[in-house]
């Protein structure tokens, strides 16, 4: 196994798997920063891998996007919600089982060594694994809000529409006594027509794109162009003076401000990166390259730690 772990050292003090094991064993306030890579083995593709979501969106050519990132762009969503909703069921949290990485985070928490898990993932599998000290930096499908009146509802309220690939509408903004259709949007007709929004084929105006009813619901996941919640800033402000080890797992660290967490921590805090591919713009103390589930299993083995079972009984 150790041959699979390629190591590169920055500081002479920390450069071996043994150092990683010692740091994890001895640290009391570990900050674990995670990304889509830890959920790939659960069946959810990441964004930027060769066979990730961006590549498949490009390959399939199913959506008329200039750039696959537009699928998660708030301005594009405002113009073309039907495109996102024709796709959202593919990433909607369903019967996923936590990976060894999720279970490791829970184990660190059980051992009272977890300061916080900052996850960029929107799949809520950390919660399913029972992790409570988690900040979902990019939100989740757990709630949804109306773009117009900002009313927030449980995510389950729009689940049926997501699974039926329809655009969910706010029941307040679209109450019968309210105005007829407004909120006409210019749109890429090809995308909107391909998307299976529940109302668009009827209401489409060929000259000006589909007329969207007011009050489109959007899951509270952070799109490109949207700000993160205050919870992220507050947690980070408190944690930066507490943390004694940073563990980064399964992320390309391409998305700010989460990627900037590394710059905000004191330089004395050791950093370990576990990732399938190198992340060239950072310089952590220890780099463990490979499948994160395998690496975590190896580390646990060396630590003499046993991972909790895949399903958290309390969460089921």
Burial class of residue 25 in the structure, from the number of CB atoms within 10 Å of its CB (0-12 exposed, 13-18 middle, 19+ buried): middle
Q: Which residues are annotated as a binding site?
A: 146, 149, 170, 173
Residue 58, both tokens: 């490009």
CB of 184 to ligand CNA, least distance (A): 30
Side-chain half-sphere exposure of 94, counting CA atoms within 13 A? 11
Among 276, 302, 303, 311, binds ligand CNA (CB under 6 A): 276
Handedness of CA 230, 234, 237, 242 (dihedral sign): negative
Residues with Cβ within 8 Å of residue 245, at least 6 apart in sequence: 23, 24, 27, 29, 30, 31, 269, 270, 272
122 contributes a contact to ligand CNA by CB under 6 A: yes
In the 8-state DSSP scheme, what is residue 3?
A: G
44 contributes a contact to ligand CNA by CB under 6 A: yes
Question: Which of residues 190 and 254 has its CB atom nearest to ligand CNA in the complex?
Answer: 254
Among 36, 195, 246, 273, binds ligand CNA (CB under 6 A): 36
CB of 250 to ligand CNA, least distance (A): 4
Question: Which of residues 40 and 82 has its CB atom nearest to ligand CNA in the complex?
Answer: 40
List the one residue out of 155, 153, 147 whose CA is nearest residue 223: 147
**Active-site annotation holds for 281:** no
Identify which range of 104-112, 120-128, 175-183, 237-245 contacts ligand CNA by CB under 6 A: 120-128
Cα separation, 245 vs 231, whole angstroms: 21
CB of 93 to ligand CNA, least distance (A): 8
183 contributes a contact to ligand CNA by CB under 6 A: no
Side-chain half-sphere exposure of 178, counting CA atoms within 13 A? 11
Three-state DSSP at 285 gives coil
CB of 72 to ligand CNA, least distance (A): 7
Three-state DSSP at 145 gives strand
80 contributes a contact to ligand CNA by CB under 6 A: no
List the one residue out of 144, 141, 121, 128 whose CA is nearest residue 45: 121
Subset of residues 135 to 154 that bind ligand CNA, contact rule: CB under 6 A: 138
Query: Residues in contact with ligand CNA, total (CB under 6 A)?
Result: 28
In sequence order, the β-bridge partners of residue 119 are 34, 136
List the one residue out of 224, 213, 197 whose CA is nearest residue 75: 224
Site string (50-79) toward ligand CNA, x via CB under 6 A: --xx--------------------------
How far CA 174 is from CA of 147, 155, 213, 249, in Å, comes to 12, 18, 7, 43
Q: Which residues are annotated as a binding site for Zn(2+)?
A: 146, 149, 170, 173
Identify which range of 116-124, 180-188, 212-220, 298-306 contacts ligand CNA by CB under 6 A: 116-124
174 contributes a contact to ligand CNA by CB under 6 A: no
Among 16, 156, 182, 277, binds ligand CNA (CB under 6 A): 277
CB of 74 to ligand CNA, least distance (A): 13
Residue numbers at the binding site for ligand CNA (CB under 6 A): 35-37, 39-41, 44, 46-49, 52-53, 120-123, 138, 250-252, 254-255, 275-277, 291-292
Active-site residues: which are they?
138
């Amino acid at each position: 196994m150790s041959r699979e772990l390629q190591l590169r050292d920055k500081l002479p003090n920390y450069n071996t798997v043994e150092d990683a094991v010692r740091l994890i064993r001895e640290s009391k306030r570990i900050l674990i920063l995670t990304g889509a890579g830890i959920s790939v083995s659960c069946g959810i593709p990441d964004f930027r891998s060769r066979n990730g979501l961006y590549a498949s969106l490009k390959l399939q050519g199913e959506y008329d996007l200039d750039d696959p990132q537009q699928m998660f762009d708030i301005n594009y969503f405002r113009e073309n919600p039907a495109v996102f909703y024709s796709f959202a069921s593919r990433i909607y949290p369903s019967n996923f089982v936590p990976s060894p990485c999720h279970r490791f985070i829970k184990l660190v928490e059980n051992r009272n060594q977890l300061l916080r898990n900052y996850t960029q993932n929107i799949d809520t599998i950390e919660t399913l694994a029972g992790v409570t000290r988690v900040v979902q930096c990019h939100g989740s499908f757990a709630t949804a809000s109306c773009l117009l009146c900002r009313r927030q509802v449980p995510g389950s309220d729009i689940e049926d529409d997501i699974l039926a690939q329809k655009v969910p509408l706010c029941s307040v903004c679209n109450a019968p006594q309210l105005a007829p259709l407004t909120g006409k949007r210019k749109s890429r007709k090809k995308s909107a027509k391909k998307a299976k929004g529940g109302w668009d084929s009827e209401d489409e105006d060929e000259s000006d794109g589909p007329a969207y009813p007011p009050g489109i619901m959007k899951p509270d996941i952070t799109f490109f162009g949207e700000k993160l919640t205050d919870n992220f800033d507050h947690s980070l402000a408190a944690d930066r003076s507490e943390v004694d080890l940073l563990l980064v797992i399964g992320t390309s660290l391409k998305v700010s401000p989460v990627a900037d967490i590394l710059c905000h921590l004191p330089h004395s805090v050791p950093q370990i990166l576990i990732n399938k591919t190198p992340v060239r713009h950072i310089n952590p103390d220890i780099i463990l390259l490979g499948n994160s589930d395998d690496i975590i299993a190896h580390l646990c083995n060396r630590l003499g730690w046993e991972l909790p079972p895949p399903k958290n009984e309390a969460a089921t």
